[in-house]
Structure 1
């Protein structure tokens, strides 16, 4: 069968289409068409004067746009699709969509996690789809950095924050100094603490929610040095002990202030200075000794210098 069509109100050339039982025409826009002639296989022509012009409607193919992916704090969100056609609807699982046929609609999630929402855009019988991802986060209620700490001239410690119920935590230095072994671990080890007062903050984060934080103070107390010792061999107070934890090197200089006798000694990883003897092994006489102690502590760049005196007594 041969068919010849005329596009009404158009200067386009006529369409000549040949087919058997089903004839297909292609149009790129809506047109009014009329038949010029229809001829069958027997070369007989149909009377086309009785056939009114037909309107061939061409629909645009929809381009679905479900909107941008989102992270929200809480269980509520508003979906915002951008429709390109005359209709559309949402498909989802595990959540409540208030108006499924509206491109802009509130949704309520059942639990804190990620959800995928499918927007189906339609023009006539043409469909297109797009997916939007929404992650719902729970708001952390509080953070607990743990109790304040006071160290006796120590420069290393363990933090003791409460682990976060939701999200993750992180340690930061607010004032002073310090090096966290793992700044996301609630009970991490810290070294390189500054002498005297330090402040550390424990902050709990969870996605799009507002972070919550808590702080603790960590004070390194001044070194308390003894004012006397009795190196008489009775096992009690025989040595001048300097309690500096994690000392890498200690150096002490004694002087009577009158007689120029000195006792100089360097000790590695020990916190004490001899039993009141000079280098050759002779006992130091009783009396008041002035000293200068220089101490290098592990993980600290600067050394500490202490100047004071001590009484040496014997039985």
Structure 2
């Protein structure tokens, strides 16, 4: 009676349909055309489907409270026994079972080890016959198995005093009923929902102590399940109790130095802190602490424990090491060099001898010197110390003490400076006079022109130098202000002014023929005699130390005349020379004698105003080149012809030379002539 296909206007020539089980079926086909009212054509056909039909049902429960369960299935399948081949059961947990006969009942055990809180299994059955037909039957989520995982966590890992504790369930469970969590701690119980916190007041009677918590679950849908678990020692109480001992306490009866081993015997803590006199050591766990006892003194040890839940405990011990105990003091810790100080040793114990060391290389030894005076002659920082030796009753123990605060000997300023200067008025090369001072300390400097007036301060800073430009002779006063206990220091610098000479060269630029001898004719005005003249450079200058020397013009050059008086005051002026060369000032000899006597041995280009010899060549009477140079300086004997061709001396005779020179002003002059070589 089921319609398996219907289409408006479609054309279906073939219909594929899965027949769900073996039986006799009638297939009806109705076709309506598009007319209104439509005409209908109906036809039918009987269809006989052969094969087996799988049918099964539960015998046992289908819902279980735990993941390990055994099920029983009743097999009601419609099977033609003569054609039965075999059947395969799939239980949905990855396991299958094949039967070659037809069972009435099928058994299977589920064993689930996963973490899911609920597991569903589907069952399928496949039946095979000799006709090659296969029947498939399945039931989805046929069995449901609960798999609750119980767990709980306390809000604190440890408690240290009576209080209300808090516990939360971290269980994994499905279908938990309302108030399905039942908590029990000793006689105290609570029924709660999944997200509610279990609270219970606890008053421990002893430390350490622990408490078990029991959790019971009620869950299920279609079934009522129960599961419980007891969490051993879930709630813990412990209180820190501080205690330590000295393992080698016998050392307290001998002279230090020695090392004590402090044994930590404490319980119930997370971390601890040792305080050894003034030194603090933090550590999480340290069973043994080493304490270095250096000298006779009063010592203390404190052990503080940090426990759980913000609890703490502490204990301490004070002891005195054997030997003379003392303190060291001074009546003068800081002063200007030299410093005399009185050092005093304070002790209530009998002392046999005193050995003083003052930190400057000096020492004193005396059985009576419990107090000494000492003078420090040099600046610096000193740490005086003393070694005291106890009497025989104290085992001759000794004690080394050092002054806690050092003795500081301040350095004096020791102002050092040049007491007089000369300053030249009108000296164009001097931008001012720099006055310097030196000192060992680092004072602040105050420079004045009147020591009685603050208004005359030139500078007020830490500079040790000033630049002055006095218009007349003057005194400058130095106030070196100390930055320590030493006194300020003062000084006076006398600056005497002098007139500078005045130099003038009337014509500062001169164009002249090369080789010309001329005098610059400078004028000099000076208040003082005994002037010093200096011309620079000294090229072609007859005497560079006189006022008006003769100068031969050769190259483009600038001469400077500096005139200085006996006070070091000076002035200067300059003269710029521009030379013009000509053949009349180019000197080439007509002969030379290369015989090695040092006279006229080399043939080369000489003259004034020549910038460069571009080309210089010598040929014999047949036109063969015997010597050639390019781009050389004039007046350079090292680039002249020595009368040899290669390493062979040339024959005596007449040779022809050609030269091309560039003058300083840029003119190019060609030269040609003959030279006689005489042996």
Bin for the TM-score computed over the shorter chain: 0.3 to 0.5
Indicate the structure (1 or 2) with the bigger Cα radius of gyration. Answer: 2
- The alignment's TM-score, normalised by the length of structure 1, stands at 0.35
- The alignment's TM-score, normalised by the length of structure 2, stands at 0.20
Which has a greater percent of strand?
A: 2
